[in-house]
Amino acid sequence: MDIRLKPIRLAGTVEAVSSKSQLHRLLICALLADGETKIIFRGLSEDILATVHCIRALGKTVTVADGLITVEAGRRALLNPALDCGESGTTARLLLPVAAALTGGFTMTGCGRLPGRPMAELCLAMEGAGVSFSAHHLPLQAAGSLRAGTYRLPGNVSSQYISGLLLALPVLAGDSEIQLTTPLSSAAYVEMTRAAMRLFGVAADVGQIWGGQTYVSPGALSAEGDWSNAAPWLCFPEVTVTGLDFHSVQGDRAASELIAALRGEGDIEIEIDGTPDLLPVMAAFAAKRRGNCRFTKAARLRLKESDRLAVTAALIEAVGGAADIEEDTLTVLGKDRLAGGTIDAAGDHRMVMAAVVLAGLCDGPVTVRGCEAVNKSYPDFFKDYKALGGAVHVL
């Protein structure tokens, strides 16, 4: 669907949708727990539905209604379950080792760009521990059950590799260890995984994962507000976002500080490796300011739902801004004025959010192609946009 957004000043209060990253992890912990778990949430995205569908495929009964997800006690053992991860990389990477710990084999599929996104390093690490794969990318067939042991893999491709193993290994009979061959990127996401596990009574560290542990449901939980999905609204000075925890382990809570820095003048450099999901919105916000902004250590963004380095630069240039890419760095050259224009979201939910930020900075209207991509993480995004005073004209 294509829409046109007119320059408008957003104002008001919006409640943050639940953290997609945390909700994935809470659901998978609930899958591994024996008791019933109830999770209160706001905003059911396509990615979370993918995880719900996979948990059902692994034998759990899950009901979703009125802002409450219930994962019931008990799990049926199913032969060769089929896990459809949709376009959710988090679902695929977190559940690959978990499914291997729970079953003797399964199939895993995905759509969109997911079959081309990194999985090989995790597959290779698991192949040394009792599991074989028909391919090192989706779709794949897995055979065998995961064993405790030492897992060696890089930390700079996806922190989700480490999170998936951390979730799975404690339920195995023996102790395990994860050895990183490169420094860990996006460490906050691994800490988020460990925090979710602690809520279910399970302790693990990258260097030491104790086996024989049992996930114990805490009963009822509330998912935190999502800092990355709140970031577009935080760019508008007259918008207040409620439901955010300033002490959260979410690395994307840095959005507040980054926006404050970008409101100042002069050149600035931001290392984005730990908070890659913030780059599209932060770069869009940097397009109209006095001074340039260099976003460094951004190489992994080329492997997201789109090539986020190239597409972010294209978005900014499409409305009259200026951006340069050099290796793993995106430089946004601040402009006094942005004219407006037509933006292609490239099937990427983060690009739709960045487009709305740009629309708020432009003198003229902004047309956004493929705005339905936002449903991946925030289906009510434009409902909230309208509630804050935005106007959406469907083309």
The percentage of the chain sitting over the pLDDT mark of 90, rounded to a whole number, equals: 93
pLDDT at site 303: 74
What's the whole-model pTM score?
0.94
Q: How many Cβ atoms sit within 10 Å of the Cβ of residue 365?
A: 17
Mean per-residue pLDDT for 43-72?
A: 96
Confidence of residue 138 (pLDDT cuts 50, 70, 90): very high
Q: Whole-number mean pLDDT of the chain? A: 96
Give the residue among 179, 169, 205, 177 at the shortest CA–CA distance from 190: 205
Residue in the block written with tokens 């972010």: 312
Strands (E), the chain: 2-5, 12-15, 37-40, 62-65, 68-71, 82-84, 105-109, 132-133, 140-143, 150-153, 177-180, 220-222, 239-242, 268-271, 292-296, 322-326, 329-333, 341-344, 366-369, 392-394
CB atoms within 10 A of CB 168: 25
Please choose, from the candidates 321, 369, 307, the residue with its C-alpha nearest in 3D space to the C-alpha of residue 343: 369
Residue 304 has pLDDT above 90, yes or no: no
Catalytic choice (226, 277, 348, 384): 277
Domain ranges (residues) in the chain: 2-14+227-394, 20-209
**Whether 51 contacts 27, CB under 8 Å:** yes
pLDDT at 305: 80
Question: In the annotation, is 307 catalytic?
Answer: no
> Is the backbone peptide bond immediately before 365 cis, with ω within 30 degrees of 0?
no
290 vs 293: CA distance, rounded Å: 10
pLDDT bracket for residue 62 (50, 70, 90)? very high
CATH class of 2-14+227-394: alpha beta
**How many CB atoms sit inside 10 A of residue 219's CB?**
9
Of 3.65.10.10, 1.10.645.10, 3.40.50.300, 3.30.379.10, the CATH number of 20-209 is 3.65.10.10
Q: How far apart are CA 281 and CA 51, in angstroms?
A: 26
* Average pLDDT for 291-305: 89
